[in-house]
Amino acid sequence: MFQKIRLRLTLLSGGITTLILIIMTLGYLYTSEKNLMQNRIFSWQSDVSSIAFNLEQQTVITHTWLANLEAGGNYYVSILDNNTPFLFNDRMNDTAFHDLVTDAWAYYYENGGALPENTISYRSRYKTFLLKKEQSYYCFVITLDKENVSENSTLKLLLIAPLRNIQHQIFQQRLVFMGIIFMALAAIWLFSWFFTGKLLFPIEENRKKQNQFVAAASHELRTPLAVILSCTEAMLEKPDIEPFAHDLSTVKSEALRMSSLIQDLLTLSSRDANHFPIQKASTELDTLLLDAYEAFEAMAHTKQLKISVTLPEDIIPPCNCDKQRIYQVIAILLHNAISYTPNGGKITLALTMQEKYFALSISDTGVGIPDEEKEKIFDRFYRSEKSRSTKGHFGLGLSIAYEIVAAHHGTIRVYDNESGGATFAVRLPICYTKRRKD
């Protein structure tokens, strides 16, 4: 129980902190990458303005000037003079460059009318667009109107800026932040685990002391209760006790109820202290079910309840379980069914075998269990609504049944019956290696 609570608190605190850290990191990366890209675009626009200014000043475009633009691989350049490639043939052998430029010019002429135009001067302007191939490229097309030439004479310069450098920079930044986040999360989860352990340690110590007190008190109470019961029974056997017979019977009944409560408390305290012995042995579950049927048949008859047993036609193999403990589970469920089923009702005990587990079920036609209470009825001391709260039930029986089934690595669930009432289904694995819960 302590480990479960510690794990849940660790998941809660670590999960919330992790979520906040991831959201903040993603927000920072988004803002950082956006600003990084925006700064790079501003840098490109500044270069475009400088290039346009140089074009306006130059009368001759030299190969050296173009080579300087492409130096370092920051840009690729292509020029059209009145739609005629300028110096294009010098790089015809470069297939990758040729394909890139061809695709860029094709995109420009297909979509140029929809692209916004930015004015540099009265003679020059440019348009931008993003070209996506195997890599992404940011493209600028500078249009320069020539002077002292015929009308509509223009010079177009295509400036292609590869995004691989900035993408590599963004990728490295993400890797760095992933490493930082990983180390931070590891520290957060370790801190959460040890912190919750420290936080719950006093509670766990108090719980252990409480369990020790309950176990010790229960043991001490058994002796005086045994004395009370023996004295009461002895007095009830005397012939002249008639005037006090009713009171003595009440004392005996209440003492038996207290003895049952003490036994339940001892069982649960043993489970909490991990001293819950399970003596596994080969057990015939059909025989166990029939024994329970015979033991409770008289009790059911007093309430005019019809009780029946359904067994598989084929012979089923024995179950490796604690016979006494599983019988205790069946007895708890069967006693509850008899207690909460109105007179004239019906109770059915059934046994089936599935591929990986044995299935025991106890069905009744009683008052049923509301949906909002189905997950609570296995909690200790939980009492259902008044219609199901009868004298003699302390809210521990189903808790004990759950702990026994869990110790066998099985499951116990409750379902509604179509005709009314409830069905408690117990599954015991044929072979198991670890605890499993639905």
d(C-alpha 192, C-alpha 196), whole Å? 6
User: Torsion-angle region of residue 73: left (phi > 0), alpha (psi -120 to 50) or beta?
Assistant: left
How far is the C-alpha of 153 from the C-alpha of 202, rounded, in Å? 88
Question: Which amino acid type is present at position 260?
Answer: S
| Cβ atoms of residues 347 and 306 within 8 Å | yes
pLDDT in tens, the chain (438 residues): 667 788 888 888 888 988 998 999 899 999 999 999 999 999 999 999 999 998 888 877 877 788 888 877 788 888 888 877 775 445 556 788 888 888 999 999 999 888 999 999 888 999 999 998 888 999 999 999 876 555 567 889 999 999 988 888 899 999 999 999 999 989 999 988 888 888 888 877 776 776 666 666 666 676 777 777 788 877 777 777 777 777 777 777 777 767 766 776 676 666 666 666 778 899 999 999 999 899 888 888 888 899 999 998 888 889 999 898 898 899 889 988 888 888 889 999 999 998 889 999 999 988 888 887 877 788 766 666 544 445 455 567 788 888 889 888 899 999 888 878 899 999 999 864 344 333
In this prediction, residue 218 carries a pLDDT of 65
| Burial class for 117, CB neighbours closer than 10 Å (0-12, 13-18, 19+) | exposed
Single out the residue of 236, 194, 390, 361 nearest to residue 303, CA to CA: 390
Residue 389: closest CA among 365, 372, 373, 412: 373
Distance CA 98, CA 109 (A): 17
pTM: 0.51
Q: Which of 265, 262, 329, 339 is nearest to 302 (CA)?
A: 339
Other C-beta atoms lying within 10 Å of the C-beta of residue 172 = 10
pLDDT score for 70: 82
Residue 347: name the closest of 330, 329, 363, 327 by CA: 363
H-state helical runs in 304-364: 323-340
Whole-number Å distance between alpha carbons of 437 and 409 = 8
Q: What is the pLDDT of residue 386?
A: 42
Cα(100)–Cα(164) distance, rounded to whole angstroms? 15
